[in-house]
Structure 1
Amino acid sequence: MSRTSHSFAPPVMAARRWLEGVQFTPDRPLINVSQAAPVDIPPEGLRRAMAEAAMTQADAHLYGAVLGRDDLRAEVAAQWSMAYGGTIDAANVAITSGCNQAFCAALATLCDEGDEVILPTPWYFNHKMWLDMTGVRTVPLPAEAGLLPDPQRAASLITPRTRAIVLVTPNNPGGVEYPSDLVRAFFDLARKHRIALIVDETYRDFDARSGAPHDLFADPDWDDTLIQLYSFSKAYRLTGHRVGAMVSSPARLAEAEKFLDCVAICPNQLGQIGALWGMQNLAQWLAGERAEILDRRAAIADNMPRLATQGWQLKGAGAYFAYLAHPFADASDVLAPRLVRDAGVLTLPGTMFTPTGDASGTRHFRIAFANVDRAGIETLFDRLAGFGGVGRPLAPDAVSA
């Protein structure tokens, strides 16, 4: 068997196939809440900076350092040190071809075939896919109340082959922001067992809280345990340029360099130039983007009562996502294609974020609302509210499962 045969098809691509043969009209266009990537182009100043670099900087078209441009690594280190109240050096930062590649590189430095990694469920499906393709066993950690993972339950899952625990906060797909003390508890657990804690903070720029979301970088020895991942795609709309970051110990980054040199040689130069310009010039603009996302999150809550009367439940909301429990007897993966045909809504079922056979996955949908404004969210809820009579309604306790 091939390594890829151990995994499943990319969920977003699979969901797009549900659109085939379905006609949408001007008075009821498709509402696509299946993917979190922003569809708007970067702001003009950033595009001009990249265009100028393309015309005037020879190195923008050449191979660069495997771990990224020195100026961008230094900027990340300086801004992260200030934001988190800790000490982060440029040598702690690697720039990667997107945050997914940062995750893959981190796992390459940690795991051999047959090792284990603990993933809270519902999980980010690309994390699960990569573990499957590399022969690493995924150990599910079902979320508790509020979609929060429990460190004590995680402790019971650690074995001699456990190499890491992975957290995504703000969470994809659940949207919840993990409390600082919860993240610290997982850090302490990982350090106690001498395993890594990988914290994917792709959506950190849209956290509703002010100040640092955790205090891990304030620990003088943070890099003996913590591996932080980040994406510039969401902050600066650089999705097509593939720029992410991995923050860890210099020794681990030296190991990651071996992996990165084989899969991309170096990150996209123009993307890195754009990311640096964004970090240095777009703080106020990014604050406005955050405010807009927080308003869309509020719009989800504002519109939820009319769905709640039909038995829907909002399990989590934050960053780009809302996680909804539906009231129907049919499973979410059966209902999702019907939503396209009957309601003009493309969304992902919870089965794409949970282990096969997990009943929780059948009860939920992920709504990625980053590209739907407040008016669009109201229309989305109109359509969900009108999606009645599909299957038979469940008892309230079944929806809560």
Structure 2
Amino acid sequence: MKFASHVEEIDISGIRKSFEGAGPGAINLGLGQPDFDTPDHIKQAAIEAIEEGFTGYTMNLGIPELRAALSEKLRLENGLDYAPAEIMVTSGASEALFLAIASVVEEGDEVLMGDPGFVSYAALTRVSQGRPVSVPMDERFHLTAEAVAERVTPRTRALIVNSPNNPTGSVQTREELRALAELAEDHGFALISDEVYEQFIYEGEHASPALYSENVITINAVSKTYAMTGWRLGYLAARGEALENMLKVHQYVQACASSISQRAALAAVSGPQDCVRMMREEFRRRRDVLVEGLRRMGAEMDVPAGAFYAFPKVGDGDAVSARLIKAGVVAVPGSAFGSAARDHIRISYAASMADIRTALERMREIL
């Protein structure tokens, strides 16, 4: 059997690789997944959907009630005016990212992305037969329009922006996002904005690049915000032809997102938001304990302003993460996120406070 070269070139995710070698009792600080349970009112909505027999295909774009709720959410929280017909519900933000990239990239086209950056961006670009182009971030792990502009070529088709950022926890400023959006518009390429961590900001504010340009595809999900990673429910918002072309791919790749998950997401988006505020404040507490503990060990790092990751500088990130696994702590080497982060490791504080404190004790002799 012969396989496509652009698929064979893709490696297994460095995040998943980090789990290999972890023995029983290891504390997993590698996975980007809230350790909270999905709130009860969301689970109940899914149970009711099953009991009502709401288990068939839905419209390709998603159920109208959910898209209307997402339209209202984008208007109230993000200042974005997207009609329900301009919103597509997807099987997680991962599918939304794939649709966005696949709809604009032809063989040999280039997609710009920050280095370090989330592992899926380069892989999905290669799956689409495009070429990922790394853009170095500044010393604060912010992506600047100046650095992006230096790498724009006639083959540039998209720029991926992720704020709050995975793996660094940095939060782009409103001015930086405006400059990036205007650059994309000036050069006629898409800006793909991954905003899945928008609710977890501790310093600064969240701003959507779509405020400043029509060339933006806005991607989000209920996964992180409502502790619903396994429900696989994301969404995207885009104008005109951009949405139409992504819909073509979605129809044949996925048809529609899970009907049950859509009903659960409707309850999440339109229901009480106390659960989100609770998680955000708990993540803040955990962040402060983790950062203080790491700094006492001499690790160099800024306090992450958002998401739920610390990204300390530790020397050889691959070697340190391997030693941590032997000590019973799973962290991800920075090399998984790009060549610019080989001296870092990513530590998730989406784990209990007890696990974080125990992990810090195990890290002490290594860091």
TM-score normalised by length of structure 1: 0.86
Structure 1 position 259, deviation (Å): 0.7
Structure 1 position 4, deviation (Å): 1.8
- Correspondence 1:349 to 2:342: no
Distance 1:93 1:152 in 2: 31
Distance 2:148 2:170 in 1: 18
Structure 1 position 5, deviation (Å): 0.3
Distance 1:215 1:378 in 2: 35
Structure 1 position 10, deviation (Å): 2.3
* Contact map agreement 2:36 2:227 (CA 8 A) in 1: yes
Structure 1 position 239, deviation (Å): 1.4
Per-residue CA deviation, residues 60-87 of structure 1 (Å, 9 max, x unaligned), is: 2111111111111111111111112232
Distance 2:194 2:230 in 1: 20
Structure 1 position 300, deviation (Å): 2.5
Question: Residue 343 of structure 2 is aligned with which of 352, 363, 380?
Answer: 363
* Contact map agreement 1:297 1:319 (CA 8 A) in 2: no
Structure 1 position 385, deviation (Å): 1.8
Structure 1 position 52, deviation (Å): 1.1
Aligned ranges for residues 371-382 of structure 1 at < 5 Å?
Answer: 371-373=351-353, 375-382=354-361
Structure 1 position 103, deviation (Å): 0.5
Identify the residue that residue 311 of structure 2 maps to in structure 1. 323
Structure 1 position 217, deviation (Å): 4.3
Secondary structure at the counterpart of residue 296 of structure 1 = helix
1:349 aligned partner, one-letter code: P
Identify the residue that residue 111 of structure 2 maps to in structure 1. 117
* Contact map agreement 2:291 2:303 (CA 8 A) in 1: no
- Correspondence 1:86 to 2:71: no
Richer in helix (by share):
1
Identify the residue that residue 238 of structure 1 maps to in structure 2. 228
- The more displaced of 123-132 and 81-90 is 81-90
Question: Residue 29 of structure 2 is aligned with which of 18, 30, 33?
Answer: 33
Q: Which has the larger radius of gyration?
A: 1
How many residue pairs get aligned? The number is 363
1:304 aligned partner, one-letter code: L
Secondary structure at the counterpart of residue 53 of structure 1 = helix
Aligned ranges for residues 216-365 of structure 1 at < 5 Å?
Answer: 216-219=209-212, 222=213, 224-308=214-298, 312-315=299-302, 317=304, 318-327=306-315, 331-341=316-326, 343-354=327-338, 358=339, 360-365=340-345
* Contact map agreement 2:35 2:351 (CA 8 A) in 1: yes
Question: Residue 14 of structure 2 is aligned with which of 4, 11, 16?
Answer: 11
Distance 1:162 1:214 in 2: 24
- Correspondence 1:160 to 2:145: no
Aligned ranges for residues 4-153 of structure 1 at < 5 Å?
Answer: 4-19=7-22, 22=23, 24=24, 29-56=25-52, 58=53, 60-153=54-147
Identify the residue that residue 397 of structure 1 maps to in structure 2. none
Distance 2:282 2:231 in 1: 23
Q: Provide the identity percentage.
A: 26
Per-residue CA deviation, residues 38-59 of structure 1 (Å, 9 max, x unaligned), is: 2443122211111011001x3x
Secondary structure at the counterpart of residue 276 of structure 2 = helix
* Contact map agreement 1:181 1:214 (CA 8 A) in 2: no
- The more displaced of 276-285 and 7-16 is 7-16
Identify the residue that residue 395 of structure 1 maps to in structure 2. none
Secondary structure at the counterpart of residue 199 of structure 2 = helix
Unaligned runs of 5+ in 2: none
2:144 aligned partner, one-letter code: D
| RMSD of aligned Cα (Å) | 1.7
Identify the residue that residue 398 of structure 1 maps to in structure 2. none
Secondary structure at the counterpart of residue 138 of structure 1 = strand
Secondary structure at the counterpart of residue 159 of structure 1 = coil
Distance 1:336 1:185 in 2: 36
Structure 1 position 213, deviation (Å): 1.6
Unaligned runs of 5+ in 1: 389-401
